[in-house]
Amino acid sequence: MTLVIGIDGGGTSCRAALATADGSIIGRGKSGAANIRTDLTGARASIVEAARLAFLEAGRDPGLMAATPALLGLAGSNVGTYRQQLEAILPFRRNVVKSDALIALEGAVGDRDGAIAVLGTGSAYMARTGGELRSIGGWGFMVGDQGSGARIGRDLLEETLLAFDGIAEASDLTRAMLAVFRNEPRDVVEFTTTAKPGDFGGFAPMVFDHAAKGDVVAAKILQRAVRSIEDSLRVLQLKPGDPLCLLGGLASLYMPLLPQPVRDLVKPPLRDALGGAVSMAARLFRSGEGADE
């Protein structure tokens, strides 16, 4: 039986699905983070482990990995040469690396027109109009990814230190955040030395929780994040009736905070990003196009 692998790798986790040539999933696996820009070696390990678990769940020998083509949608693949570096060291028969936003769009709307806002550890936007693709963001939380979990976590740490220094207003949120680091601001700084996007993103739920309780600092962080989402969607020039899918772990938390015109556009996705990767893998490798991607 001919098999294909779809991979969805982000800043928090990596998911794999083993499927038949028609796209029917027969096994799944999940492992650690797979952002190839922030940790190429670690991402490769996560990808291989997720694929191995998918083979095992399907009752197949993981050794067949070397005979199986894979399509991978990965965070960090839109900049630099990380994609090419990874493709050279993966164990699959063929490797096609795409952006995580593209497989998310494929999963959400299929091959039709529509748009997505990915709001997870990172953030990115993509729209297809008349078959033409347009992408926005996905630049990483140090210089972009506004509204992402990683950016929210980074902003929270910044606000916490500003409050500690008396420059900005303190709140229950900043006090709770500082308590995580034993009320030692130097430990906050040390955390940032080695922390990855998923580590920063782990603090995002605290911000939403405190915002719901009326915390002024949490509200300030989320207001800034919501404005960035609105600005990004405005650039996509969506029209009434254009399907917009909100994806990622923060999508449901953002939904009630968005203005009504945006909420009116939101539709449920057809499939998740992993389903999109599998669909693309089945289509590409069935047609033979994947050999030259």
> Looking at the predicted structure, is the pLDDT value of residue 1 above 70?
no
- Give tens-digit pLDDT for 204-222: 999 999 999 999 999 999 9
Q: Which stretch of 76-90, 115-129, 178-192 has the lowest confidence by average pLDDT?
A: 76-90
**Considering the chain, what percentage of its residues have pLDDT values greater than 70?**
97
Show the CA angle centred on residue 13, arms to residues 136 and 281, nearest 5°: 70
**Right CATH for 3-108+271-292 from 3.20.80.10, 2.120.10.10, 3.30.420.40, 3.40.50.300:** 3.30.420.40
Assign 3-state DSSP to the chain and report helix, strand, coil percentages, each to 5: 50, 20, 35
Q: What is the average pLDDT score of the chain?
A: 91
| Domain range annotation of the chain | 3-108+271-292, 112-269
**Right CATH for 112-269 from 3.50.50.60, 2.60.120.260, 3.30.420.40, 3.40.50.2300:** 3.30.420.40
Cα four-point dihedral sign 117, 287, 18, 64 = negative
- Give tens-digit pLDDT for 52-63: 999 999 999 999
pLDDT category of residue 292 using cuts at 50, 70 and 90: very low
Q: Between these two residues, 232 and 144, which has the higher pLDDT value?
A: 232
CA distance 38 to 289: 29
Average pLDDT over residues 76-105: 88
Residue 293 confidence (pLDDT): 35
Average pLDDT over residues 196-207: 93
Q: Residue 80: which region, alpha, beta or left (left: phi > 0; alpha: psi -120 to 50)?
A: left
> Looking at the predicted structure, is the pLDDT value of residue 132 above 90?
no
Residue 291 confidence (pLDDT): 37
Residue from 156, 103, 141, 142 nearest 271 by CA: 103
- Give tens-digit pLDDT for 237-278: 887 778 899 998 899 999 999 999 889 889 999 999 999 999
Average pLDDT over residues 217-243: 91
pLDDT category of residue 288 using cuts at 50, 70 and 90: low
